[in-house]
Amino acid sequence: MSYVSCAECPLRKLDLFTPHSPDELKLIQSLRRGQVTVPGGQDIIHEGQSDALLYTLWAGWAFRYKTLSDGRRQILNFLLPGDFIGVQQKMSDALTHGVQALGDVQLCVFPRDALWHLHRAHPEMGFNVTWLTAQEQSQVDENLLSAGRRSAEERIAALLILLYRRAAAMLPDAGATGVPFPLTQQHIADALGLSLVHTNKTLRKLERLGLHRIEQGVLHIHDAKALARAGDVYATMPPPRPLV
Amino acid sequence: MSYVSCAECPLRKLDLFTPHSPDELKLIQSLRRGQVTVPGGQDIIHEGQSDALLYTLWAGWAFRYKTLSDGRRQILNFLLPGDFIGVQQKMSDALTHGVQALGDVQLCVFPRDALWHLHRAHPEMGFNVTWLTAQEQSQVDENLLSAGRRSAEERIAALLILLYRRAAAMLPDAGATGVPFPLTQQHIADALGLSLVHTNKTLRKLERLGLHRIEQGVLHIHDAKALARAGDVYATMPPPRPLV
DNA sequence: CGACGTGTTGATCTCTCTCAATTAGAGTGG
DNA sequence: CCACTCTAATTGAGAGAGATCAACACGTCG
């Protein structure tokens, strides 16, 4: 799987983004350095790295994470196709988190100053980047609410329904076929601040209640309403998003 | 306390920000609608509000928070003078979190489209807003790491040292006099995902160890090194910041 | 002076963690 | 084709960090 022009980017067909003029597309295209593939489980950016490039995720999932000195890991949020990687690290600062691929991942590469060029040449698109960044922040906010105040059962339910919504937004008929779900239970545990064992038990509990099923990397939601209720997720949180 | 021109803004003297040309200052000034005071404990923006303005905090502290339907509250991060309020809510979306004043607070008010004007007229400043937003995100990341993976003792230590650093950055001689600290233990508990009682006990424990002291709204750090170690806080996280 | 907010401390209770062991599938190599 | 190894998922049992319940102290305020 590979493509040459941004105009033909498969992501563009999903109408998740604001339309772009040929002019804007040409700009993005000119900034783009190329593509890379990163194998699953490997870091795209290391924790503390200070010379990271800018990436756009266009196939596969990834996640941002931080670790404590003794190895405890906290996953901050998950990245799906269309998301940015490395925006946080502006100027000369080091990135205070790492980014790791979940399964093989395909990226578009941009130079570090691409963001600045974008702002300069097309303020509107620069504006959108701010929007996207804020959008991602709201995901972290939600995860913090989970880790801080939700019970184990609520956390799992909330994570499943929220990830499901994001993944389903790029699929034609997610309801019937389920959505790809490349996380292991260890990832879920690290995202929610739970132990692996308790994550497993809670996951099974919800499964036995008939709310969902995870099978061979595919997540099926049987009762989205009940799951959202179990997770105390009311607002329709993250709707589509612009740019890229 | 009140001032008229942005050029005379007391915050500007702190060299926390990138210098601005008279031109840039004039732009900000022209966008500014006025100032408001919000009494302590009151919401600056309500959870779910969709018509919020844009604010700049220039005196007092505030915090962003989310709540679950049964009232459990999670504080997402604290806002100190110089921070933005309401950037997350772009376009027509509602804000998914509330912002509340900690003690009386003074704000500069901007119209909702000020950000857009800023981007358009001064891409460099718009760029800085993205930077600031990312900066704030890294604070939330750190808090998520705390809530998810740190023990109660580590959480408290990390919160204290991090808030101390931010507050001390605006004071001439924080080491000797301590820094203002308007949080109640309930705020600390809600920020760290702990119960009020356990927060109190842990706080006392660290205090008895001689690491810090909180007295009449002033935080004294006795052993910053040990506190940082106790909180597993290595990186010098959030250094100064630009703009405003 | 009683009501209220904040801080403090002791006594249970329980949710979640840690330790341990088992099963199943995917590779690998002989 | 079959041991051998590794990773991921499961399940049971005991332990513990932190929650909940209860009381009390202190200062402010109408």
pLDDT single digits (tens) A148-196: 999 999 999 999 999 999 999 888 787 778 899 999 999 999 999 999 9
Q: Residue A92 above 70 pLDDT?
A: no
B123/A127 touch (CB, cutoff 8 Å), yes or no: no
Q: Residue B4 above 70 pLDDT?
A: no
CA of A41: nearest nucleotide by C1' is: D7
Say how far B201 CA is from D23 C1', in Å: 16
CA of A214: nearest nucleotide by C1' is: D9
Q: Which of A74, A123, A148 sits opposite B119 (nearest CB)?
A: A123
Q: Which of A197-201, B75-79, B134-138 has the lowest mean pLDDT?
A: B134-138
Buried b (16+ CB within 10 A) or exposed e, A156-187: bbbbbbbbbbbbbbbeeebeeebbbbbbeeeb
B149 touches strand C (CB under 7 A): no
Determine the average pLDDT of the residues in B128-145.
89
Mean pLDDT of all residues belonging to chain B:
87
Reported pTM? 0.92
Question: What are A232's two structure tokens?
Answer: 């105390």
**Using one digit for the tens of pLDDT, what is the confidence trace for B97-110?**
999 999 999 999 99
For residues A158 and A192, the answer to whether their CB atoms sit within 8 Å is no
The two beta strands, A218-221 and A212-215, are antiparallel
Q: Residue A8 above 70 pLDDT?
A: yes
Mean pLDDT of all residues belonging to chain A:
87
A-chain residue closest to B137, CA distance: A137
- Between CA A11 and CA A115, with CA A86 as vertex, the angle to 5 degrees is 75
A-chain residue closest to B149, CA distance: A193
More confident residue, B90 or B25: B25
Q: Residue A1 above 50 pLDDT?
A: yes
Q: Which of A13-22, A59-68, B1-10, B207-216 has the lowest mean pLDDT?
A: A13-22
Q: Residue B238 above 80 pLDDT?
A: no
Residue B192, pLDDT score: 98
**CA dihedral over B164, A69, B239, B128, signed as positive or negative:** negative
Say how far B150 CA is from C22 C1', in Å: 31
- Between CA A17 and CA A21, with CA A19 as vertex, the angle to 5 degrees is 140
For residue A243, name the pLDDT band (cuts at 50, 70, 90). very low
Determine the average pLDDT of the residues in B203-209.
96
B147 touches strand C (CB under 7 A): no
Best to test chain A binding among B49, B137, B156 (most A CBs inside 10 Å): B137
User: What is residue B241's three-state secondary structure?
Assistant: coil
For residues B125 and B68, the answer to whether their CB atoms sit within 8 Å is no
B130/A87 touch (CB, cutoff 8 Å), yes or no: yes
For residues A61 and A78, the answer to whether their CB atoms sit within 8 Å is yes
Rounded-to-10 torsion of CA B1, B5, B9, B12: -170
A104 touches strand C (CB under 7 A): no
Residue B242, pLDDT score: 40
Length of chain A: 244
Q: Which residues of A touch B239 (CB under 8 A)?
A: 93
Determine the average pLDDT of the residues in A45-70.
92
- Which amino acid is it at B82? G
Q: How far apart are CA B215 and CA B178, in angstroms?
A: 10
Residue B90, pLDDT score: 64
Q: Residue B237 above 50 pLDDT?
A: no
A-chain residue closest to B194, CA distance: A148
Q: What are phi and psi of A59, to 5 degrees?
A: -155, 130
Residue A14, pLDDT score: 60
State which protein residues have CB closer than 7 Å to strand D. Answer: A 184-186, 196-197, 200-201, 203-204; B 151-153, 193-199, 202
Q: Residue B16 above 60 pLDDT?
A: no
Nearest in space to B85 (alpha carbons), one of B115, B118, B121, B41: B115
CA of B194: nearest nucleotide by C1' is: D18
What is the percent of chain A with per-residue pLDDT over 90, rounded to a whole number? 59
Q: Which of A64, A90, A148 sits opposite B134 (nearest CB)?
A: A90
A140/B145 touch (CB, cutoff 8 Å), yes or no: no
CA of A184: nearest nucleotide by C1' is: D8
B186 touches strand C (CB under 7 A): yes
Q: How far apart are CA A209 and CA A202, in angstroms?
A: 11
B-chain residue closest to A131, CA distance: B90
